[in-house]
Each structure stands twice: as structure tokens, then as C-alpha cells.
């Protein structure tokens, strides 16, 4: 049985050349609810067990995020999460989805992307709020939002046509320069989310 908490602070996105983390590390969780400011709150702990493939986990208890509008984002018992909603190149820079201050956000984001009950744009906005509620600062959370919005999964309004998150594990030199430019812009100007949605990686 594994309890995943809100532990480490994300800093790796500011160093896009970092190496891929080793096997996912899981740390103990602080008690039940975690909330920060007006971004929402988590209810419960992420209690899960590794499945036989050693990459996916099955939730053993109900877990949820309630956003600042009161919208419920549940992760029911039996949900299987593997971080697949997070673009893989982030795993090399921010750590796996089971580490760092975005671990709880990645769980509800995974489930929402699997269910596809709401528009993908709203699901990715929820991920930003959940990152902030998990204790992440504005600039790191906005870089994470930029990555999932532009390289994360998308789907049609009926949820049938699905494009998975980018499996990109490394960046070309041209992409690296563009990403650095975008991240520096986000860090220095703290733009609104609407503007971040327009910062396309070409």
C-alpha cells in the first residue's frame, strides 16, 4: 500500500536539460485535506498499490479535488493511474508524476483524461488549479499548464476522438530554444492562463 503526499517542490522545468529521473519514488502523505489559497482543495489521500507492470497504480481509496468553483473531480476506488496524461518529456525534467508537488494533481488529471467527461481545455485548467492547491508556485504551475495544454491529451467534444499526450522524451535543439524562450517569458511576466494557451511550440 502506498500513500502519496505533496512533499517536494518542483524546480526542474527551469532546467530543461536535466536527466530522466530513476524509477518513480513515492513518499508518505501528510494527513487528509490539502488546500492553498483560492485554487481548491484535495479530499483524502492517494492510497494505491503498484500493479504487476510496476508502472501503473490502482487507487484503493476514494480521492478527489474540488476546484475553486466547487466542481468535483473524483478519482474513485479502482482507478488506474500511470501519469500518461503528463507529456513524457516533463518526466525527464520535473520528475515522474509520482514525485514532487504535482503528484496529487497528476492523479486527478489522469482520471479526468481517461474519463473525458469534460472538455480537454477545462481538464487542463483543472490541472493548473490542482498544482497550485498542491503547493506549487505560480511560475512552475504555469509552465506545467503550458506543457499539458499544448502537448497533453486532447479529445473531441463527445470524448470519442482521442489524441494521447506527446511521447516526446527529448527536445530537438530548435524545440529546446523555443521552450526556453516560452519558459523564460512565463517566469518573467507571469502571464494569464489565456495568454499561455496561445504560446504554441512550433
Residues 18-37: what's their mean pLDDT? 37
Enter the C-alpha cell of residue 6: 505533496
Closest by CA to 82, choosing from 60, 101, 97, is 97
Of all residues in the chain, the percent with pLDDT exceeding 70 is: 77
CA 132 to chain centroid, in Å, comes to 11
- Give bridge partners of residue 75 from the DSSP assignment: 63
User: Phi, psi at residue 70, to the nearest 5°?
Assistant: 85, 5
CA 112 to chain centroid, in Å, comes to 11
Distance, CA of 14 to CA of 23 (rounded, Å): 22
Q: Cell 490539502, residue?
A: 34
Enter the C-alpha cell of residue 184: 523564460
- The C-alpha R_g of the chain, in whole angstroms, comes to 16
Q: Residue 87: pLDDT above 60?
A: yes
Domain ranges of the chain: 2-196
Q: Cell 535543439, residue?
A: 173
Distance, CA of 103 to CA of 130 (rounded, Å): 10
Q: What is the pLDDT of residues 99-148, one digit of tens each?
A: 777 889 999 999 999 999 999 999 999 999 999 999 989 998 998 899 99
Beta-strand pair 2-4/46-50:
antiparallel
Distance, CA of 111 to CA of 95 (rounded, Å): 19
pLDDT of residue 18: 31
Q: Are 91 and 83 in contact (CB under 8 A)?
A: yes
Give 92's contacts (C-beta < 8 A, 6+ positions apart). 18, 19, 20, 21, 169, 170
Q: What is the pLDDT of residues 178-191, one digit of tens each?
A: 888 998 999 999 99
Tell me the CA distances in angstroms from 105 to 101, 140, 148, one per residue in order: 8, 13, 12
Amino acid at each position: 500500500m502506498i500513500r502519496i503526499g505533496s512533499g517536494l517542490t518542483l524546480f526542474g522545468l527551469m532546467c530543461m536539460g536535466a536527466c530522466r529521473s530513476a524509477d518513480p519514488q513515492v513518499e508518505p502523505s501528510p494527513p487528509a485535506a490539502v488546500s492553498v489559497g483560492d485554487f481548491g482543495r484535495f479530499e483524502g489521500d492517494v492510497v494505491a498499490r503498484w500493479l504487476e507492470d510496476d508502472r501503473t497504480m490502482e487507487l484503493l481509496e476514494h480521492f478527489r479535488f474540488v476546484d475553486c468553483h466547487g466542481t468535483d473531480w473524483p478519482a474513485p476506488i479502482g482507478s488506474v493511474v500511470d501519469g500518461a496524461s503528463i507529456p513524457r518529456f516533463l518526466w525527464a525534467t520535473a520528475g515522474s508524476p509520482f514525485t514532487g508537488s504535482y503528484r496529487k494533481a497528476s492523479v486527478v488529471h489522469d482520471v479526468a483524461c481517461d474519463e473525458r467527461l469534460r472538455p480537454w481545455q477545462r481538464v487542463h485548467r483543472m490541472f493548473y488549479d490542482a498544482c497550485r492547491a498542491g503547493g506549487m508556485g505560480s511560475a512552475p504551475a504555469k509552465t506545467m499548464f503550458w506543457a499539458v495544454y499544448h502537448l497533453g491529451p486532447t479529445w473531441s467534444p463527445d470524448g470519442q476522438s482521442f489524441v494521447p499526450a506527446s511521447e516526446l522524451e527529448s527536445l530537438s535543439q530548435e524545440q529546446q530554444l523555443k521552450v526556453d524562450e516560452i519558459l523564460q517569458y512565463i517566469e518573467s511576466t507571469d502571464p494569464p492562463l489565456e495568454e499561455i494557451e496561445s504560446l504554441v511550440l512550433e
